[in-house]
Chain A
Amino acid sequence: MNEFLRFLGKLALFGSLLLLLAWFLFFVILPDDYSETLAIVYQKQAYLSKSASPKIILLGGSNVLLGVDSALLEQRLGRPVVNMAIHARIPLLMQMNQIESFLASNDLIILPLEYLYYVYPDGSTVVIAHLLDIYPQGILFLDPVNQKALPEIVKNIFQMRYDRLKKAAAVRFPSWGELLDTGNHLAQSLLSQFTPRGDFEAHLDRAGLPVAPQPLLQMDQFNPRTLQIINEMALRAQQKGSMTVLTFPSARQSNCLATQPALQQLYQRLQSNLQVPLVGTPECYCFPDEMFFDTEYHLLREGRRIRTEQMAVDLKAFIK
C-alpha cells in the first residue's frame, strides 16, 4: 500500500507540475490582449454588481450592445438599466448564469434576441473561447452543452494564446505590475467607446454600410431548444422574484421584407410555446436601412433613439 500511495503521490506531483508549467507559459508570461472588445465584460459585470434593484437587465447580442440607449431607457422607465449584451454567439444560458446571482425582486430581464439565437441558442465555441481567454472566470458560467465542449474551447483558447505568444515574443514583456493586474483588460482608448451602462457608441455617427437583403431566419433551421432555454431562464428568474420578457431585435427593413413569412411563423410559434410575455412584434423593430451602421442589426444614433423609445413604450406595461 505504501508503494502504491507513493506512486500516486508522484503522479499527482507530475500532474501538478505540468499544469503549473502550462499555466506559467500561457497565462503568466503572456501579456493580455488590450484590443479585445469582449473584455468589456468586466465593466458590465462591475456595473451590474453596483446597480440597485429593481433594475432592468438587457441580454442578447450586438444588436443590444450597439442598438439600445440604456441611459434613455433608464430615463423613460425610471429604473437602472444594465446592458449585459456582448455577442450573439455567447450562449443564452451562459448569460443567465452570469447575471443570476445579481437578480432580485422586481428585476426585469429583457431579451431582444437576434434571430440567430433561434438557430444557435448554445452559441459558438470559438466565441466562448475568445471570451474565456480574456475572462477566465467565465468558465463558472458555462452552460451544460458547452461544458461538454470544454476540451474544444480550451484548445481554441490555447491556439489564441499561442498566436499572441508568437506576437509578444517580438515585444518587450510588460512590467510585473501589469502582469499581475486582473482588473481592467481593455485599452483606455477602447474603454471610452462604451458607456458606463455597457452600451457601445463608437459607431453611432459613422456612415452606414450596405448589407445584402438576405433573410434573417429560415424556419427549417429553427431550433426548438431555444424555446426551452428561454422558458428555463424565465423560471429561474421567477424564483428570484424577477420577470423575463422577450422582444425583437432591431433589423433592416430590407432584411425584414426578405424574412416576412418566417417572422410571422416565428411569432406564432413563440406565442404558442413560450411562457414569457412577448413585447411588440418583429415588424415593430424593423427600421429603414439608412438607420443602420453595419450588419442587419447595428443601429446608428437616430435609429438607436427611435428603437429605444419604442422599447420604452412597449415595456411600460411591465414596469411595476
Chain B
Amino acid sequence: MTFTSPEFLFFSLLILILYGVMRPAYRWGVLLAASLIFYAGLGAPYLLVALGIVTLVSYGLGRWFSRVAPEKRKGLLIVGVAVNLSVLIFFRYLPDLYRWLIQTPTPPAVAPVLIVVGVSFFAFQGISYLVDVYLEVIDPELHLGRFALYMAFFPKLLQGPIERGNDLLPQLADLQFNAAAASAGLRRFMWGLFKKLVVADRLAVLVNPVFATVHNYTGLTLILAVYLYAFQLYFDFSGYTDMALGIARLFNLRLSENFNQPYLAHSIAEFWRRWHISFSRWILDYIFRPLQMTWRRWGMWGIAAALLVAFLASGLWHGSNWGFIIWGLLFGIYMVIETLYGPLRKKIDRKLRIEKAWWARLWQIALTFNLVAFAWIFFRANTFPDALYVAANLFNGVQVLDCAKAVVKYGAYQPILKQTWDAGKFVSESQTACLTTLNNFPRFPEKFALENGWVLAISLLLLAVSGWVNRRIPVGRWPVVLRWLGYLVFALWILFALGVLETPGQAFKEFLYFRF
C-alpha cells in the first residue's frame, strides 16, 4: 500500500473517521495503530522489529538521561546512536556488504532484507531525538505511545520528512480536528498526487529508457535525459512530501517543509537549504557542525574537511555503491569550492556592482542547476560505469556544437549583426541541427502519444502558473463555487492523465526515494 494506491485512499478515510469520532485523549492510539498497520502492510514484518528496536531504545535512553549523572549521559548517548546506526547498517548495507565481501549475488536467505523502506528515515530520527535530549534542546517524551507515534507516524514513515522532537512531539500532546486544516491538507495531498502521477511518472517514461541503455545515446539526448531526470526526481520526491504533509494536515498535524523551489537556488549551499530540507538540516546539525567545531583550529581547511565528510555521509546514507559515494563527494567538492571561493566572488560582484543584476542572478541559478543536474547523473545511473559513460559523453559528437551554432547563427548573429531575420530558416536550421540528434530519444507510446505530450505540457504550465496565482489569491480564499469547480476539474485532470498513461510495468509507480 502506497500513497498512490486506491487502498490507501480508503485506509486514510477510515482512519480519519476513527480519528474524528475518538476522544481526543486517545487519538494517538488510532494514529499509532494505523501507522503500524500501514508499515506491516509492506509485507516485511522484520521492519516492524527494526522500528520497535529504534523506538524503544530511543525512548528508554531518552528517559534515562535525566536519571543519570551528567558524566554518564555521554556513554548512554553513544549506546543509543550506536544502536540506531546498527539497525540502519544491518538493514541497509548488509546485503551490499555481503555481495562485496563474497563477490556473489545476495543469497536468498538475505534477499528479503532488501525491502528496507523507512529504516534510513526513522533511524536518523531516533538519533536526532537522542542528541536533542542529551543537549537538553527538548525534554524527553514520557508517554511511550506518543513517542511511538512520533517515530512511526505513517505519512512520514517511509520517506520523511525527518521530524525533530521539538517540532512534532508537542503537537501529538493535543490532537484536535480542524476542518480548515483538513481541507488544506486535502488540497495539498491532491497537489502532491498530481506532481507524482501526472508529471513525474510521465517524465519517467522518457527518462528510464535512456538510463536503462545509456550506451545507445550520446550528446543532446543524454543532456535532455539528465535535465528531465532532475525534474522527475523533484516532482516525485516533492510530490510525495506534499502528500505526506497533506495527510498529516488531515489530522491537524504540521510536518516540516522539505522543499522550497530548490532549482531556483543561487548557490549549492542555498540548494541544500531548499532540497530535502529535513535531511540536510540533520546532516548540518549532527555531522557538519560537530565536525566543524572539532576541527575549528584548522580554519577554512577544517570547514572544508567537515563539508567533505558530511556530504560523504549524505551519499552513504542513500546507498553504499560508488554512484552515491561519488554523488556525495561531488557535492562536498562543490561546497568546498563555494566556501573557499565565496568571499572572493562576493568581493568581485560588489566591485562590479552586479550583486543584484538580474542576469547575474539568472546566471547563478543556471550554473547551480547545471551543477546539481550533473551530480544527479551519479545518483540516477544504474551502475557507476554507466554514470561515467553519461558524464563523459554529454558533449560527445558534433551534434551539440552544430545545434549551438545553428541557434546562435540564425537566432542571434544574423538578426543582431546582419540585421536579417528569417524565422522560417531559424526554425528549420535549428530543428535540423538540434532535433535530428534527438530522433532516438524515447517517445510516449504511440497510442496516446499526443495526449501525453499535451498532458505534460499543460501540467508543467499549470505548475509554473499555480505558484504565481496562489501567492496572490490563495485557493482557500476563492469563491466557493469557483473553488469546488477548480477541485473537480483538477481531480478529473489527474484521472484523465492516469488513464492515458500506458505504464510499462510497476517500476516507476513506486516513489524514487523508497529505495532509501
Contact = CB atoms under 8 A, between A and B. Distances in A.
B500 interface: yes
A7 B492 contact: no
A4 B491 CA distance: 23
A17 B488 contact: yes
B492 A162 contact: no
A5 B20 CA distance: 8
B183 A7 contact: yes
B177 A159 contact: no
A22 B492 CA distance: 7
Interface centre among A3, A7, A17, A18 (most CB of B within 10 A): A7
Given A14-B487, A18-B491, A4 B500 contact: no
Interface string B466-485: 00000000000000000010
A6 B178 CA distance: 11
Nearest to B7: A151
B392 interface: no
Interface string B12-24: 0100110011000
Given A17-B488, A18-B492, A21-B488, A7 B500 contact: no
A5 B179 CA distance: 9
B499 to A, nearest CB: 4
A296 B49 CA distance: 56
B495 A22 contact: yes
A7 B499 contact: no
Interface string B484-503: 10011001100110111000
A21 B6 contact: no
A8 interface: yes
A22 B183 CA distance: 22
Contacts of A6: 179
Interface in B1-56: 6, 13, 16-17, 20-21
Given A14-B484, A151-B6, A4 B499 contact: no
B488 A162 contact: no
Interface residues of B, number: 24
A14 B484 CA distance: 8
Contacts, number: 47
B182 interface: yes
Contacts of A151: 6
A18 B488 CA distance: 6
A172 B200 CA distance: 37
Contacts of B179: 3-4, 6-7
A209 interface: no
B499 A158 contact: yes
Chain B binding surface, main DSSP class: helix
A3 B447 CA distance: 47
A1 B22 CA distance: 10
A225 interface: no
A206 interface: no
Contacts of A8: 16-17, 20
Interface residues of A, number: 20
Nearest to A156: B499
Contacts of A316: none
Interface in A122-163: 151, 155, 158-159, 162
Interface string A1-43: 1011111101100100110011001000000000000000000
Contacts of B496: 162
A21 B183 CA distance: 21
Contacts of A1: 20-21
A159 B500 contact: yes
Nearest to A20: B488
Interface in A286-317: none
A158 B61 CA distance: 55
A68 to B, nearest CB: 36
Contacts of B491: 18
A181 B488 CA distance: 28
A24 to B, nearest CB: 11
Contacts of A18: 488, 491-492
Nearest to B183: A7
A21 B492 contact: yes
Contacts of A25: 492
B494 to A, nearest CB: 10
Given A6-B179, A7-B179, A22-B492, A155 B6 contact: no
A6 B179 CA distance: 8
A6 B500 CA distance: 35
A148 to B, nearest CB: 11
B500 A162 contact: yes
A151 B500 CA distance: 14
Contacts of B177: 3-4, 7
Given A21-B488, A21-B492, A155 B499 contact: yes
A1 B21 CA distance: 7
Nearest to B5: A151
Contacts of B484: 14, 17
A10 B484 CA distance: 10
A28 to B, nearest CB: 15
A183 B322 CA distance: 64
A40 B113 CA distance: 52
Contacts of A158: 495, 499
Contacts of B13: 11
B20 A4 contact: yes
B187 to A, nearest CB: 11
Contacts of A159: 447-448, 499-500
A3 B484 CA distance: 19
Interface in B146-189: 177-179, 182-183, 186
Nearest to B487: A14
B315 to A, nearest CB: 37
Interface string A157-193: 0110010000000000000000000000000000000
Contact of A7 (B182, B488, B495, B498): B182
Contact of A155 (B178, B182, B488, B498): B498
A6 B182 CA distance: 12
A193 to B, nearest CB: 29
A222 to B, nearest CB: 26
A25 to B, nearest CB: 8
A158 B488 CA distance: 18
A25 B491 CA distance: 14
B208 to A, nearest CB: 20
A162 B499 contact: yes
Contacts of B6: 151
Interface string A40-64: 0000000000000000000000000
Contacts of A155: 498-499
Given A7-B177, A18-B491, A158-B499, 13 more contacts: A1-B21, A3-B179, A4-B21, A4-B177, A4-B179, A7-B20, A11-B186, A14-B487, A17-B484, A159-B447, A159-B448, A159-B500, A162-B496
19 contacts: A3-B177, A3-B178, A4-B177, A5-B20, A6-B179, A7-B20, A7-B179, A7-B182, A7-B183, A8-B17, A11-B186, A14-B484, A21-B488, A21-B492, A151-B6, A155-B498, A158-B495, A159-B448, A162-B496
For the complex of A and B, 3 pairs with smallest distance between CB atoms: A4-B20, A158-B499, A7-B179
Interface of A: 1, 3-8, 10-11, 14, 17-18, 21-22, 25, 151, 155, 158-159, 162
